[in-house]
Amino acid sequence: MEPANDNVESKTDVLIIGAGPSGLMAAYWMARCGINARIVDKRGTKVFTGQADGLRSRTLELFDSIGFQHRVHQEGHVAVEANFWVPDGKGNLIRQGPHCSSKVNESPFRNMLLNQGRIERFLLDSIQEHSDLQVERGVIAETFEYHNEVDDDPMGYPITVKLRTLSDEANPPGLHMAGPNQSAVASGVAPGNLLPDDWIELIAKSKAKETKTEIIKAKYLIGCDGAHSWTRKQVNIPLEGSTTDHIWGVIDVVPISNFPDIRRLGTVTHASGTILVIPRERNMVRLYVPVQTIEASAASEGRFDRSKITLEMIKGRVQAIFAPYTFDFQICDWWTAYQIGQRIAPTFSKGSRIFLAGDAVHTHSPKVGLGMNMSMQDGFNIGWKVALVAAGAAQASILGTYDAERHRLAEMLLDFDRHWSGLFTDGDGESKTRNMIKVVELFEDFAEGRNSFYGTSELVWKLENDEGPPAARHMIPGERFPPVKLRMQADGNLRWTTRLLESDGRFRVVILAGDVRTATQKDRLLVLTQHLSKSDGKQGAVLDRYAPIVGCFDCVIDVIAIHSAPWTEVEFFDFPEILRPFDPVQGWKYDKVWCDDACIWDRDCDGKGYERWGVDRLLGAMVVVRPDQYIGWAGELQEVDELTRYLDGILIQKTANEGL
């Protein structure tokens, strides 16, 4: 007999299961776009130690668009140069390096290390800033039903999930609460991928206590519930791939070591394997340590007794590989062990209502330092799409691009991981270093997120040969908007485009207005803005054509201009009205007109944006940036019809009585 409280039944537009980095990224969009949403997590608290820590420059750019990059920069540890240590054949280790990418300055931000717990904190703060959405912790999904009959009804709630609050027994307080200053060595293995799924056990324990349940009906479900994803299992999507026979230990320690590069990113190679060294905040260092192969530890069937891996054993391995340098520690903040393997789901979505993100659909070795980044970018990608569709602003068809865009990236991630992980067990010193640099360079644009590799879809109007249009050669649809530091025309303040292109849910038409000192160019700009704002016949003009994000923005499209004239030779009030919208209470909006001109008081603002974008400084160009800062379309200033066609394929037009 079920307890009485099963009668509690609620509706929500979007249900997110799992409040790790990918779930929180998705939730950010719900908060930002005013979506009726819920987010639950079986864990009683957020993580505080260990887990993922690597932040690639693209992820930091996205943080800037959300508004908390400065907090990461204040606390995190930068890791740019890498050193490779190899044996010299005489019992010594010698340094090869430092190696630094020649492309390091292509982002405003450098790769950083900061533990997942802080990132979750910053995301939670952003969610709170924009909404009342709270993570419901200690809550687990128990049953799932899908009602096909309302699948096609945009107002329908085809998903039914029963949620159960975990009992204290199933969710012991403090389980994951090792504090930041923990000085004792942790006594057990933290959840690595060697641990079995505990979902069923947690439910059983809680059922026995007749804990509170709730039936939720949802329009959309986003499963961000990790490698053992319950959501994925409900929709019968497998995780395909294989596991190798290599077992690795991971430790976060405050090292006591005379190894010269213990505070620098790098590898240390020994006949029996290679250690990856990753310096972190608060004097901690993370080490990835090859521990053993399964053959050596168990019978031929490949079973593995995880109780055999201890912190002492991992320490012993480090000492052996670091020799003749010393290695020890008193403080271990976190440790775990994992079995190398690559698994990926064949699809990241089920129909047009259910989506899976992060570890739920791709697992791999953590050594490439990309897991949290890819997971967050998954959540970022599906989040805005579901939010805009749920808000009635975008067509449901765009949801299909999630799988198309992210699955390909996940495959590249696994490919990178296979190449990279292999290097840690194969090859000798010299060639290993060369191979490592080669692999890093091969995957660099992908790993840093400088290229997104998003293919053609209604959201990405690619040209042949994957190039930008002649008017904006480096503005490639499907890729990120190349970051530049700009001056605001009205007040002269500086801003990176990563922050300027704020993640607020809107598409952005970026008018690269060219040299507006010339009468011709001024006129082209005027004609363009008139086309964008005024009705020209039966259909509404671009800015009056589409349904709003109700409660957030009257128009789902923001328009900004970036001109190339010197800052002092142009006046704000000379720009067309749609670039300085007027409100009788708030006055003019000043933050839509920007300038690509060098500024003497900031070396990063060098006036070379047009050059970086491949845009003619006189003639300019036009670009549509998606809500996630990726370029959707690029063309010339007069191509309003083409622009409109692009947007018509994505956004929902106002109905007759609303708009025209």
Scan residues 71-100 and list those touching a second copy (CB under 8 A): 71, 73-74, 77-78, 80-81, 98, 100
Which residue in the set 226, 279, 366, 514 belongs to the binding site for a second copy (CB under 8 A)? Answer: 279
Scan residues 601-640 and list those touching a second copy (CB under 8 A): 601, 603-604
Q: Does 4 bind a second copy (CB under 8 A)?
A: no
Give least dist CB 342 to a second copy, A: 31
Q: Does 264 bind a second copy (CB under 8 A)?
A: yes
Scan residues 493-512 and list those touching a second copy (CB under 8 A): 493-494
Q: The tokens of 147 are what? A: 């009602």
Exactly one of 280, 450, 495, 580 is catalytic; name it: 280
DSSP β-ladder status, 621-625 and 593-595:
unpaired
Identify which range of 147-155, 218-226, 463-471, 569-577 contacts a second copy by CB under 8 A: 569-577
Exactly one of 220, 288, 454, 546 is catalytic; name it: 288
**Residues whose CB falls within 8 Å of the CB of residue 187, separated by 6 or more in sequence, listed in order:** none
Q: Does 260 bind a second copy (CB under 8 A)?
A: yes
**Residues whose CB falls within 8 Å of the CB of residue 126, separated by 6 or more in sequence, listed in order:** 28, 31, 66, 67, 68
Q: Which of 181, 222, 449 is nearest to 358 (CA)?
A: 222
Q: Does 490 bind a second copy (CB under 8 A)?
A: yes
Is residue 53 annotated as a catalytic residue, yes or no? Answer: yes
DSSP β-ladder status, 266-270 and 82-87:
parallel
**CA–CA–CA angle 231, 236, 242 (5° rounding):** 95
Is residue 288 annotated as a catalytic residue, yes or no? Answer: yes
Q: Does 573 bind a second copy (CB under 8 A)?
A: yes
Q: Which of 134, 135, 131, 123 is nearest to 59 (CA)?
A: 123
Rounded Cα gap, residues 560 and 504, in angstroms: 14
Rounded Cα gap, residues 348 and 357, in angstroms: 7
C-beta closer to a second copy: residue 8 or 590: 590
Q: Does 522 bind a second copy (CB under 8 A)?
A: no
Rounded Cα gap, residues 188 and 175, in angstroms: 11
Scan residues 331-390 and list those touching a second copy (CB under 8 A): 331
Q: Does 588 bind a second copy (CB under 8 A)?
A: yes
Binding mask 29-68 for a second copy (x = CB under 8 A): --------------------------------------x-
Exactly one of 13, 32, 41, 53 is catalytic; name it: 53
Is residue 353 annotated as a catalytic residue, yes or no? Answer: no
C-beta closer to a second copy: residue 236 or 586: 586
- Cα distances from 412 to residues 22, 61, 220, 449, 628, in angstroms, run 18, 21, 27, 12, 20
Give least dist CB 74 to a second copy, A: 5
Position 451, amino acid: N
Identify which range of 237-245, 295-303, 323-331, 640-648 contacts a second copy by CB under 8 A: 323-331
**Could you tell me if 556 and 398 are in contact, meaning their C-beta atoms sit under 8 angstroms apart?**
no
Q: Which of 469, 590, 575 is nearest to 517 (CA)?
A: 575
**Could you tell me if 135 and 190 are in contact, meaning their C-beta atoms sit under 8 angstroms apart?**
no
C-beta closer to a second copy: residue 5 or 258: 258
Rounded Cα gap, residues 536 and 527, in angstroms: 12
Is residue 402 annotated as a catalytic residue, yes or no? Answer: no
Residues facing 160 on adjacent strands: 145, 217
Which residue in the set 153, 523, 550, 590 belongs to the binding site for a second copy (CB under 8 A)? Answer: 590
Give least dist CB 19 to a second copy, A: 25
Show which residues are catalytic.
53, 280, 288, 366
Residues that bind a second copy (CB under 8 A): 67, 70-71, 73-74, 77-78, 80-81, 98, 100, 104-105, 110, 183, 254-258, 260, 263-264, 279, 283, 329-331, 490-494, 568, 571-573, 584-588, 590, 600-601, 603-604
